[in-house]
């Protein structure tokens, strides 16, 4: 069986940085650097649907081990470029995810989504087995079937603030407000699981389009 794909997500609130400078850094240096690393499959940028100063960048990886490769470590961490260090130092981090794809396993993000929903959380240990059954057997299939949902994937992070992350690529940021989506997320099983959620993070995003 092929090794599952990996995921890297970097999220910032860049309210303290001029929008033009932040985008110039991401578009002309930061993303191109990462796409030159073997094993980086793609890079997508997103902005908060309600707050355009929230920036989320997602990168699909051939495997999570790519983040330990010499090519990546040469441009990350202590080896960030001076421009990257300046931008990261001025922005407020919203999230960082380094995760393995659980469902479906080896599916890259579609290129034609105009919206994305990111959900991250932990779960009470005593409910974790049922939580994973609910997510895999009901929740992801139900949301994937909603009109306007192009792709539904979930991930597990070993270490970091959140253990579980789900990404839903959408026709538009309005999809999670649709009656069909609300019906899919308000099942009896979902309602039973919600009290076990911890550290819940939910961000609705729209595709970043360069000026």
Residue 1 has pLDDT above 80, yes or no: no
Matching residue, tokens 């779960």: 123
The predicted structure's pLDDT at residue 89: 97
Write out pLDDT tens, residues 117-174.
999 999 999 999 999 999 999 999 999 999 999 999 999 998 889 999 999 999 999 9
Write out pLDDT tens, residues 68-87.
999 999 999 999 999 999 99
Tokens of 115: 């919206």
Task: Give the mean pLDDT of 23-45.
Answer: 98
Domains of the chain: 6-207 (3.30.70.100)
Positive or negative: CA dihedral 150, 156, 160, 165: positive
Residues with Cβ < 8 Å from 140, sequence gap 6 or more?
103, 152, 153, 154, 166
Strands 149-156 and 197-207: unpaired
Closest C-alpha to 167, from 209, 202, 208, 128: 202
pLDDT cut 70: percent of the chain above it: 100
pLDDT cut 90: percent of the chain above it: 97
The predicted structure's pLDDT at residue 211: 83
Task: Give the mean pLDDT of 62-70.
Answer: 98
Residue 113 has pLDDT above 70, yes or no: yes
User: What's the mean pLDDT when you consider all of the chain?
Assistant: 97
Residue 44 has pLDDT above 90, yes or no: yes
For residue 14, which phi and psi values (nearest 5 degrees)? -110, 35
The predicted structure's pLDDT at residue 204: 98
């Amino acid at each position: 069986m092929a090794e599952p794909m990996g995921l890297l997500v970097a999220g910032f609130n860049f309210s303290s940085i001029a929008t033009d400078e932040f985008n110039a850094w991401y578009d002309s240096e930061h993303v191109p650097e990462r796409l030159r690393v073997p094993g980086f499959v793609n890079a997508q940028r997103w902005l908060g649907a309600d707050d355009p100063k929230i920036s989320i960048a997602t990168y699909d990886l051939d495997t999570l081990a790519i983040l330990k490769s010499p090519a990546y470590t040469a441009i990350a961490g202590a080896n960030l470029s001076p421009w990257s260090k300046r931008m990261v130092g001025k922005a407020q981090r919203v999230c960082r995810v380094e995760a393995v794809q659980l469902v479906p396993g080896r599916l890259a993000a579609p290129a034609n989504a105009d919206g994305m929903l990111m959900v991250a959380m932990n779960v009470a240990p005593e409910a974790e087995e049922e939580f994973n059954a609910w997510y895999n057997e009901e929740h992801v299939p139900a949301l994937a079937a909603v009109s306007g949902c192009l792709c539904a994937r979930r991930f597990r992070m070993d270490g970091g603030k959140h253990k579980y992350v789900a990404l839903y690529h959408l026709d538009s940021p309005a999809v999670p407000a649709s009656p069909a989506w609300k019906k899919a997320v308000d099942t009896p099983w979902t309602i039973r699981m919600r009290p076990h959620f911890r550290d819940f993070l939910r961000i609705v995003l729209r595709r970043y389009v360069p000026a």
